[in-house]
Amino acid sequence: MAKDYYKTLGVSRGASRAEIEKAYRNLARKYHPDANPDDKSAKKKFQEVQAAFDVLGDPQKREMYDRYGSSFETAGAGGPQGGTWRWGPGGGAGGQGFEDVDFAQFFGERFDGGDFSEIFSQFRPRGGPSRTTARPRGGQDLHSEITIPFVTAVTGGQAQIQIARGSGKPETLSVKIPAGIEEGKKIRLRGQGEPAAGRGRKAGDLLITVHVAPHPHFQRKDNNLHLRLDQCDREAVLGAKVDVPTPKGTVSLSIPPGTSSGKKLRIKGHGVCPPGAQPGDLLAEVMITLPSPIDDEARQAIRQWNQRTDDQQDPRADLRW
């Protein structure tokens, strides 16, 4: 049965990237196995949500999915990842691309060996891997995109990407991801573009635009990481020590007694740390979650507590339009 990734994420087919990311964060948080230890179906739902976002969160994959459906990975030679699709004159994947056409057979020998980049660039369809001249008489640069996990963007690591040079078969390359890379940044792999014709000429480069998948719990703002830290009412009243995962390992964070929702607790130096820069901080925003259900005995205790604290300041005394 065909998979409807839009239905899985609960968004329309015309949803923006921001809407897709928001839906993914909400569902990933809802079905995360760590948050549902007793629900055996949660892991499967979490995997379905992840698979849907892996496609709809990547512009190239989403375009191919919209065109071919969930079987898009077998709709043409290679696959949608990292620019392995080759576009033919009809705008489809596979077949003979413009770079494979001998224009001399159509326009005469006076065009033989000429530079047709300006001619067929106007026919290149949107969304496919593009090629631009890297340098005079050298190989052409290749452009591709990749989506990496949030954790990899923060801490760095390795990622795999597929490319197709000329009429060759798709090739898998390993890409080093620097720590702290941001959404939309480009990575250049020198000499991994189109090969140059003739001896002594350099091959083009591969330019990779990096996209960062959202995290179900963490968000990045500059070099700081932001986390919603849920705590129960008992911890808010009496205080507690809770374990918080960070890029540098788990940290024990003290929550002072009487901490209200919205209070932000700072963990210095445990944010994003790009090479040569000062590390950011991790800011944990405390959010109080009430137990459910609340029985009559608990309600009575809360009423008695409120009666003893009626003389306290109104928490909405400063609320104005």
Phi, psi angle pair for 311, to nearest 5°:
-80, 0
CATH topology identical between 75-93+125-214 and 218-305: yes
Which CATH code is given to the segment(s) 75-93+125-214? Answer: 2.60.260.20
Q: What are 149-168's pLDDT values in tens digits?
A: 999 999 999 999 988 877 67
pLDDT higher than threshold 80 for residue 23: yes
* DSSP H or E run through 115: none
Q: Do 178 and 112 contact (CB within 8 A), yes or no?
A: no
Instruction: Sketch the domain layout of the chain as residue ranges.
Output: 1-57, 75-93+125-214, 218-305
Looking at residue 118, what is its pLDDT? Answer: 41
**Mean of the pLDDT values across residues 92-103?**
37
The DSSP 8-state label assigned to residue 275 in this structure reads T
Cα distances (angstroms) measured from residue 190 to each of 158, 187, 211, 253: 17, 10, 20, 45
283 CB contacts (<8 Å, ≥6 apart)?
Answer: 224, 225, 226, 227, 264, 265, 266, 267
Residue % of the chain over a pLDDT of 70:
73
Written as six digits, the tokens of 118 are 């300006």
- Enter the pTM of the model: 0.54
**In angstroms, rounded to a whole number, what is the distance separating the alpha carbons of residues 177 and 191?**
18
Residue % of the chain over a pLDDT of 90:
32
Which CATH code is given to the segment(s) 218-305? Answer: 2.60.260.20
Q: What are 62-90's pLDDT values in tens digits?
A: 888 888 777 766 554 344 344 333 333 33
pLDDT higher than threshold 90 for residue 226: yes
The CATH T-level fold of domain 1-57 is Helix Hairpins (1.10.287)
